[in-house]
Structure 1
């Protein structure tokens, strides 16, 4: 026992003048299994391992996992709320994080004041009114991709959706065209695929020749050269002040002291937006096609609504896909203070705290019959802020959440207006881990038939 300060949910320190406050760790239960076995299970099958541990030890348990070390895993909504509302000065971003792949200028690399200032600078381009301007790009890229879709023959939607989301990001966010657009179209899928697989593995202390890490570094150097060209071209553009791509908006933005983001920081942030919004959005769309093709009544309502200006049922369907087939399975923090009071537990400095998003989304106390795919649940009530968290939560909630939601909404509307999607009674596709994201194992396979000539109705 001591009078050293501890930190609670709001992040305020108390010296315990009226009572003695223990700073001794009081950790949630830990599995009584060999550490090596648990580590192997977590690497080989992270999601089913977490599912089993939750059933066995409850919605808060302690684990030692590769990369993140000593970790408390949470899937209780009340504890999730506490974590997401705790001061970022108390809970930093999880270590290590994606900044080791995205670069030191990424918002993932920042904490405290630096993080707050950067987020304030990044937020304006992703307000609802701002992203409305990008809808036509989404329609154009969707129509361009679906032009080659086979009719009457089953095919996987994941790869086409990867093409669509990548092209949208390269045009709307990077402002790319011509040679640079084609080079990025070729480079980014290879970078994202390799980066996703390496993100869940420890990083080497130095670049090793003839390894995937060296290949990733080569991709990075080519990317930086292309972004440097795009920045220079934007700055020379006589219509620079009127450009709406996010790269140009970043170039025109400045901090309160008048300083601007460096080219390196802009490149890292663009890559962050791409990595966060390309594979995840495409994977969710592939799951959407996989889900609605197996639920004829849902599909019927979506088709009817797509002929109108309404999108309430389509939004509910997107929310339910994100809940029922969660693409990103955890959101993490790092305890930066000497002791963090998490509910009844005391978590010591240096521990990771991971919120299991898929376990939250499958909690029967928050979502009745959670295995059932039912968009109606999101028409009857809005998602609970701390039970439905596909974009994470708190000050580190995905900046591009509104942009991704607009993308998914417009892509689905465009496809539904132009194609009839066949239904199937085959079992749902199993999960497939791509490292960071979870996709349909067979790629979200569907059969479609063209309804009419392509339309770009807004």
Structure 2
């Protein structure tokens, strides 16, 4: 395995990564500004070795601190294994399938409202509207069904903050964080401070009123650790931001890619529409969601770090080496998926994704706790849109992949055309 210097490997795009894998196989070495020595993987056997390694050999949380400017130091993704396991046990009941039934109904209503708001018969970008809809849906999960002016303020403040948090600028600033790249970013800091005040005000209001609500914030405020201590306000804030960040990154982008793929595959759209009309099941919508997350994973990569010398693929990794799992390259491995670039939901009708070849939500103990929630959101939006409207692409060519922060976004923000089914030819 060779090593290449790619000071902007992830900024230069997929072609750079593809060429490197083509030359060097399932793993290659690189150097990343702000990170240092690293290896990038797409081989599922090597990924499995990394994921199953003991915690004292492979660190699975320090590298996630790239998210800490947004989710804080106590967010689920950046806690050590013991703390992560404890908090997951607290949060999981609020995200089980039976607990999501009510949210599914609310999601369907929000999706229908979005369909009704779409321009008719003219190309438009669905992506920004999806991000707003996702923000409203996730905030409903977090703080409840509140349509007061305060809820609107939550939408405005969090949307404004995340527009900066997922900008290309944050990538450069994170690489320069040791020389003040993040600390010297007043507009981001101001947006974050406004967002934090909103969260802390809601926590304080509930404590003083003795409110005991069934939304996710209520679940977290009732939680106690093994010693009977409740979560601190800082920990509560960080979990709220973690959930919002995950929904914006994975759910909203995943749904946008699902629509971008579906409208360019008429047979898939026809079959999905037939299922949504029947309203009896969501098996095909699930297959569409799995396949969209495979061919266009919303998160570009996730990582680990060697704590001790670690032999991987015939190479001895030194302590401190970052290990990056490149998801699109993994998901396009022809050894795992025949004709890997083709969009074929039928791949998943006789099986469910598993193992180390499909990882849009990460893996191991660090698997995204909102994976079921994301899939529910995707299936619901797909069904509501295809049941209510005739969809087509704004242009026949595939939208390019646009890399921003750690996300893969539709290059034209999912431009489609929506026509009412009653008036469509």
Structure 2-normalised TM-score? 0.92
- Partners of 1:372 and 1:106 in 2: CA distance: 36
- Partners of 1:425 and 1:391 in 2: CA distance: 30
Native 8 Å contact 1:431 1:439 kept in 2: yes
Superposed displacement of residue 205, structure 1: 4.4
| Matching of residue 228 in structure 1 with residue 200 in structure 2 | yes
Report SS of the residue matched to 1:72: strand
Superposed displacement of residue 184, structure 1: 2.1
Match of 1:414 among 384, 403, 422: 384
- Partners of 1:193 and 1:423 in 2: CA distance: 26
| Matching of residue 204 in structure 1 with residue 172 in structure 2 | no
Q: 1:89 to 1:277 in 2, by over 3 A?
A: farther
- Partners of 1:340 and 1:29 in 2: CA distance: 17
- Structure showing greater radius of gyration is 1
Superposed displacement of residue 237, structure 1: 5.3
Aligned twin of 1:340: 310
- Partners of 1:209 and 1:54 in 2: CA distance: 32
| Matching of residue 315 in structure 1 with residue 286 in structure 2 | yes
Aligned twin of 2:246: 276
- Partners of 1:228 and 1:136 in 2: CA distance: 29
Match of 2:38 among 62, 71, 81: 71
Q: 1:237 to 1:114 in 2, by over 3 A?
A: same
Aligned twin of 1:152: 121
Superposed displacement of residue 425, structure 1: 6.8
Superposed displacement of residue 452, structure 1: 6.0
Superposed displacement of residue 91, structure 1: 2.0
- The number of residue pairs the alignment matches comes to 416
CA RMSD of aligned residues (A): 2.2
Match of 1:90 among 47, 57, 61: 57
- Partners of 1:438 and 1:86 in 2: CA distance: 28
| Matching of residue 30 in structure 1 with residue 10 in structure 2 | no
- The worse-fitting range, judged by mean Cα deviation, of 257-266 and 121-130 is 121-130
Matching of residues 101-180 of structure 1 within 5 Å? 101-175=70-144, 177-180=147-150
Aligned twin of 1:445: 415
Native 8 Å contact 1:207 1:214 kept in 2: no
Q: 1:452 to 1:187 in 2, by over 3 A?
A: farther
- Partners of 1:296 and 1:287 in 2: CA distance: 15
Superposed displacement of residue 352, structure 1: 0.6
Native 8 Å contact 2:305 2:321 kept in 1: yes
Q: 1:91 to 1:124 in 2, by over 3 A?
A: farther
Aligned twin of 2:296: 325
Superposed displacement of residue 236, structure 1: 4.9
Structure 1 unmatched ranges of 5 or more: 1-27, 454-458
Q: 1:178 to 1:87 in 2, by over 3 A?
A: farther
Native 8 Å contact 1:312 1:379 kept in 2: yes
Superposed displacement of residue 349, structure 1: 0.9
Native 8 Å contact 2:258 2:292 kept in 1: yes
User: How far does the alpha carbon of each residue in 1:339-359 deviate from its partner, in whole angstroms, 9 at most, with x for none?
Assistant: 123243321111111111111
Native 8 Å contact 2:68 2:78 kept in 1: yes
- Partners of 1:77 and 1:137 in 2: CA distance: 38
Q: 1:132 to 1:206 in 2, by over 3 A?
A: farther
Native 8 Å contact 1:171 1:177 kept in 2: no
- Partners of 2:302 and 2:322 in 1: CA distance: 10
User: How far does the alpha carbon of each residue in 1:191-240 deviate from its partner, in whole angstroms, 9 at most, with x for none?
Assistant: 212112344232534767995x22111111111110112113333556x4
Native 8 Å contact 1:43 1:66 kept in 2: no
Structure 2 unmatched ranges of 5 or more: none
* Larger helix proportion of the pair: 2
Report SS of the residue matched to 1:447: strand
Native 8 Å contact 1:71 1:354 kept in 2: yes
| Matching of residue 185 in structure 1 with residue 155 in structure 2 | yes
Aligned twin of 1:244: 214
Structure 1-normalised TM-score? 0.85
- Partners of 2:352 and 2:246 in 1: CA distance: 24
- The worse-fitting range, judged by mean Cα deviation, of 441-450 and 263-272 is 441-450
Report SS of the residue matched to 2:38: strand
- Partners of 2:42 and 2:56 in 1: CA distance: 22
Native 8 Å contact 1:432 1:441 kept in 2: yes
Aligned twin of 2:188: 216
Aligned twin of 2:276: 306
